[in-house]
Chain A
């Protein structure tokens, strides 16, 4: 599509921009009625997706442009149809800018001639991820394909054929975006460079103050959603690392005995002096067994009697079934408690082994200054999920991609 303004200027004021009003072509500046264009496209056929309308004026870098028309494109990507639109902005002296609105993102672009750029033949096989030298920068292909102009309205100053197919290559690089339109009939490439704009900036340009204010509010809320989501993810990771990794504390007591050496009244170890009042302590008990079981109980005591226990029926078993060999065991138990007062404490072991387990060794350890993990893990998992939800909500594109991936 050759985007060269071919319409004559207004004979009254010399402006190139014209709009279709009251059933006739009028100069956008002085309002003079002009001879109709041979390729005018009266509006009203296609629904609007944003507050911009034909005839609105915008200030771009201090220069005034008129929205003279819009082009509507669609791309069929393996059965998925994507649609976007492009507003044609024309200045009084005939300079054109293009404002693309694609899935909520705005891009303002203009034609340019890169010094050295890939030819039609080099660009024809372009695909996402490939990179090319465009002018003095390396740009990578962000999208490439064939789209169709499915609609046009307004006084676009060059002939546009609805139904026309267009090959395009989009690039990112050097802090901006570029696109190339490949003319299949003449094997030529038209280059455009652009920059992304916030929705509020677009509405500001068009003097839509209320819409700009609302867009700023939406952008602030979206940024806050992302910031809040990031904060939750960071808190979740800190909590999970604290809960799972760094809270094991210091060992203050340990002991062991074979099961056969533990009498019915238990075997007492200690005393151990515990001083970390108000902190969490952990009693661990474990054994090693093969193909047998043994009940074990470790009890923390003080001079007044029993305080806490960690007990379990420990077992180990292996065998073979239709899935092959298997081995399962449960050989460890623990108990967390809070030290209310410093003093001497004991650990007493009880064991009731099967005959094959009498020679097994029962071990215990007592640790102080442990970080109790349960609250941190619950908080971490909850915050991670919630943070993920907020991050997704702040990025409609990512959410869309996830839905599409789930559909596939």
Chain B
């Protein structure tokens, strides 16, 4: 049992934060939801067309991979 008020208040704040963190993790607070917006769709399509990390060369995408890929 905590005896000093400073630690009691700090403990209550941390317990509250802990509860809030679990609630946020349980419900996915801050994550995008299935209530989609046009911008969300546009970014999916742009990723598909941009092919992040690849280079189009000789009729195909090449050059993907990690830091040493193809070196």
Question: Which chain A residues have a beta carbon within 8 Å of chain B's beta carbons?
Answer: 220-221, 223-225, 227-228, 231-232, 235, 238-239, 242-243, 247, 278-280, 293-295, 297, 299-300, 302, 304-309, 311, 313-315, 317, 319, 326, 328-330, 336-341, 345, 350, 352, 354-355, 371-376, 379, 383
- Distance, CA A209 to CA B51, complexed state (A): 76
Q: Name the interface residues of B7-37: CB closer than 8 Å to any CB of A.
A: 7, 10-11, 14-15, 17-18, 21-22, 24-29, 31-36
Question: Which chain B residues have a beta carbon within 8 Å of chain A's beta carbons?
Answer: 1-4, 6-7, 10-11, 14-15, 17-18, 21-22, 24-29, 31-36, 40-41, 44-45, 47-48, 51-54, 60-62, 64-66, 68-70
By a CB distance below 8 angstroms, the chain A residues around B40 are 306-308
- Known contacts A313-B54, A319-B68; A224 and B7 CB within 8 A of each other: yes
- Distance, CA A279 to CA B48, complexed state (A): 27
- Distance, CA A278 to CA B69, complexed state (A): 41
A sample of 18 inter-chain contacts (CB < 8 A) reads: A220-B3, A220-B4, A227-B1, A228-B11, A231-B11, A243-B25, A293-B54, A293-B64, A302-B34, A309-B44, A336-B31, A338-B32, A341-B34, A350-B48, A352-B51, A372-B26, A376-B21, A376-B22
Contact of A295 with B61 in the complex, beta carbons under 8 Å: yes
Other than the given A308-B34, A371-B25, 4 more pairs (CB < 8 A) read A232-B14, A297-B48, A305-B36, A337-B34
- Distance, CA A308 to CA B45, complexed state (A): 10
Q: Considering the complex, give the chain A residue whose CB is closest to the CB of B38.
A: A305
CB distance from B65 to the nearest CB of A (A): 4
- Distance, CA A300 to CA B70, complexed state (A): 32
Q: Considering the complex, give the chain A residue whose CB is closest to the CB of B23.
A: A375
Q: Considering the complex, give the chain A residue whose CB is closest to the CB of B70.
A: A317
Contact of A306 with B44 in the complex, beta carbons under 8 Å: yes
Contact of A376 with B25 in the complex, beta carbons under 8 Å: yes
By a CB distance below 8 angstroms, the chain B residues around A329 are 66
Q: Which of B21, B28, B41 contacts A239 (CB 8 A)?
A: B21
- Known contacts A297-B48, A317-B69; A278 and B4 CB within 8 A of each other: no
- Known contacts A280-B28, A311-B48, A372-B24; A340 and B33 CB within 8 A of each other: yes
Contact of A339 with B69 in the complex, beta carbons under 8 Å: no
Which of A280, A313, A340 gathers most chain B CB within 10 Å?
A: A313
By a CB distance below 8 angstroms, the chain B residues around A300 are 34
Q: Which of A306, A330, A350 contacts B41 (CB 8 A)?
A: A306
- Known contacts A308-B32, A383-B14; A299 and B44 CB within 8 A of each other: yes
- Known contacts A317-B69, A340-B35; A311 and B47 CB within 8 A of each other: yes
By a CB distance below 8 angstroms, the chain B residues around A235 are 14-15, 18
Q: Considering the complex, give the chain B residue whose CB is closest to the CB of A342.
A: B34
Contact of A293 with B65 in the complex, beta carbons under 8 Å: yes
Q: Which 4 A-B pairs have the closest CB atoms?
A: A315-B65, A280-B28, A313-B64, A338-B28
Contact of A307 with B4 in the complex, beta carbons under 8 Å: no
CB distance from A355 to the nearest CB of B (A): 7
- Distance, CA A247 to CA B51, complexed state (A): 31
CB distance from A59 to the nearest CB of B (A): 26
CB distance from B18 to the nearest CB of A (A): 5
- Distance, CA A163 to CA B2, complexed state (A): 47
CB distance from A307 to the nearest CB of B (A): 5
- Distance, CA A310 to CA B4, complexed state (A): 50
Contact of B69 with A279 in the complex, beta carbons under 8 Å: no
Contact of B14 with A308 in the complex, beta carbons under 8 Å: no
- Distance, CA A382 to CA B21, complexed state (A): 13
Q: Considering the complex, give the chain A residue whose CB is closest to the CB of B24.
A: A375
Contact of A223 with B36 in the complex, beta carbons under 8 Å: no
CB distance from A364 to the nearest CB of B (A): 15
